[in-house]
Structures are given as structure tokens and as C-alpha cells.
Chain A
């Protein structure tokens, strides 16, 4: 199996790594970089628990080879908070009780952040459409949608967070 030297920026840190060809980005994040906030659910791009931002856009990390991430910028749930301050999305998930078992939460947060980056004031329909690829088996989604709605009304304040600009 071929091995590849890659450079990838993860949550603002430049990482120089050597990865086997068949390693997924999810395995790289969880095993090599010990960023275990990103979860492994289905390993098939169905459940969204492994959603991360790659060059500012959400992807299923289980469906990306680590070697393909060479030269990209990746943001995981660990990279959402900045300067000891939670992302407003994280805060609203807590305030609204949008978390039960928590397994889907990191992927939900990333998809929600990506949505607000491209559509700062989404309708409920747009929120639900943006979460099609994130399965939650506990909450029934209602509080998750509410949390994102609340976040969208307060999101304008903190634009200093690099994760909040498209292409971060």
C-alpha cells in the first residue's frame, strides 16, 4: 500500500503527515490527530456524524481519503470555538436542549455552521434541507431546528471567527 506525505491545515494548525493510501480523513482526524469529536457512525456517507468542513464546505470525512485532503483546510467540531468562546451555534444547542445522546451533535454543529455561512437567515425549510445528511435518533430534530433558528438571529455579531467566513 502506497504512503503519501500530505500537508493539511486542521483547525488552524498546519499538519505535515504521512498517510497510507486507504486511510480516510475520518481515521486521520480521530486516530492520528486524536480529534475524537468527529464521530464514526455509518462509514458510508449516510448519517453525517463525521461531517467536517473541508475548504469551508461540509463533507463526510468517512467518504474522503486522507490523501485527498492534501493542501486543504479542515475544520472539525473542536475548531468551532474561538478565544474561549463557543460558536453561537454551540451555545444555542446547549440553551435549546438540542442535545440528547450527543453522538450526532458534532456533525449537526458543522452542518449548521456551514448553512449559516452560506445562508445567514435560513427558513425552517432551508434548515431541514441542510440537515438531510445528518441523522439524529433522539431529539426528533425540533429543538435542533429551533437552536439553529435562534443562532441565525444572533450570528451577525461575531464575525471575527475565521470559521464563520466562507472558505475558512
Chain B
């Protein structure tokens, strides 16, 4: 070899059954790391943040790379489905375009050929671009562990930066989306330091849809990324919008509530105050955009 490897040594195995993965995870809690797209894992290994003894490649397990849609039950996305695969899937484009838009906002085209939905969610970065859409579609995270399969609602999955409801011995196999609300229109607005490719300084997703049962006639769901320890929904703003007539006044009030719900950090990419101000602006802009398209029908 001409040069030394950039990655420290580890063993590798391509897992063939979910139970094999659970066994390996249980045998060595610290030393075993799972690999799907590797875009986070390999950087962290290279930088010395983690020192795996064994890397278990789980992306070839049955179903991990598949997207399945059914009108009655909704959409199931294998955890190892890449961002490009997800964004280009006809069912996702047709029924969950907000998810496709979010996936397309991640990093670069090359990275999106490797980065996976499960990895984006499972790493639990507050800046995960797909997390707001997953929250707004009220998806469930499918986990496999020592006691078989269980589902965790997306709203209960994120616990803090890098922390999730996944228990030792468990790993993510899929993300299940219920059928989207009828007539739903979505938008994900992401602010980075440049127009494309960057991590989000702030990300705001809005999903709007008609609901004849409430006075305003429309419901809006609002999700935020990169402005709190976890990606979150802004229930206060959603409640306000469901009881007001859609329009500038309601959108400004909802945007203020979204900014108030954010608890951003100061870091190299932006200050707390700037992030809050951008949450307000992006929320208002996303609401206007979604509303215009709802009215256009």
C-alpha cells in the first residue's frame, strides 16, 4: 500500500437477518456500529469520535431498501432507502411531495445517493432535514429489537441531539407514513449559509389541508428543524391557525408563535436571535405559499 488508510481498523460484516443484527448489538454495546449510507458514520470514525470494533452493514436486509405505497395503509420506506431514491419515487412525489422536497434539500446529489432516511432520522441531529416532514405526516418509526418489532410515533422518537427512543439492541428498519390528509399541500423552506448543500441554519416545514369540520376550514401543521434540541411541531401555532381565518394576520401570529417555540443555539453557523427571526420569516413565507396553492386547488 502506498499510503496509510484514513480510517482506523475495524471488522466488517454484511448482516443477512434482523436477529443477527440484534445479537451483534447485544454482544458489544459500545463496539458495534451499524452502516447504511455511511455518510455520518465514516466521518465520525475518521475524526475519532467513535471507535467501532465491528461495522455491521444492514442495508441489504430484506425490505431495508424498499419503498411501498398502498392507498389504504400509506407509505412504508425502508430505513436504508437513499434520499435520491426517496425523492424520485413516483408514490412519494404524488402523495408526499413535502417528503421528496425535504430529501432533495439534503447536502449534494452524490451524498443523496448514499445518505438514507433512516440515517438522517436515527442520528437525531436537530438539523435533520427530513425530520419535520416525518413529524407532519405523523409517521411511525419501526424498530426491531430483542422483543421483535415495535413502532414509535415520530413525535416520541427524538429525545435530544443524537438521542432517540431506540433502546440498546434495537435498530431502525422502516418508517411508516399513514395516508396523507386529503388535498394536502406542503413546503419545506431551508435556510443555509449558501443556497444549496449546507446544513440548515433553520428549516421550516408546513403542511396545509382542508378540514370542513373546523371553523377556519383548513388545518396547518408546522414543523421546525435546526432551532431546538430536537426537531419539533409547533402545536400552539397550529391551534391558532385552526381557529382563525387563513390570511396575513393569522400567518403573522402563527409565525410569532413558531419563533417563540424555537430554542436555538448560538454557533458558528448563526446566532440564537438570528435563527429565531428566520423561523418567524420562513414560517410566514411557507404558510403564504401553502395557502396560495390550497386556494388555487
Contact = CB atoms under 8 A, between A and B. Distances in A.
B51 to A, nearest CB: 11
Please report whether the interface of chain B is mostly helix, strand, loop or mixed according to DSSP.
loop
Interface residues of B, number: 32
Contacts, number: 99
B12 A2 contact: yes
Interface stretch (A63-71, A81-89, A93-101): A63-71
A43 interface: yes
A133 interface: yes
Contact of B9 (A22, A43, A48, A64): A22
Interface string B81-112: 00010000000000000000000000111110
Contact of B8 (A22, A57, A111): A22
A21 B9 contact: yes
Interface string B189-226: 00000001100000000000000000000000000000
Given A22-B5, A51-B110, A68-B57, A44 B11 contact: no
Nearest to B8: A22
Interface of A: 1-2, 4, 20-24, 27, 30-32, 43-45, 48, 51, 54, 57-60, 62-65, 67-68, 111, 114, 129-130, 132-134
29 contacts: A2-B13, A21-B55, A22-B12, A23-B7, A27-B5, A43-B6, A43-B46, A45-B110, A45-B111, A57-B84, A58-B109, A58-B113, A59-B113, A60-B110, A60-B114, A63-B39, A63-B43, A63-B111, A65-B12, A68-B38, A68-B57, A111-B110, A129-B109, A130-B109, A132-B109, A133-B107, A133-B108, A133-B109, A133-B111
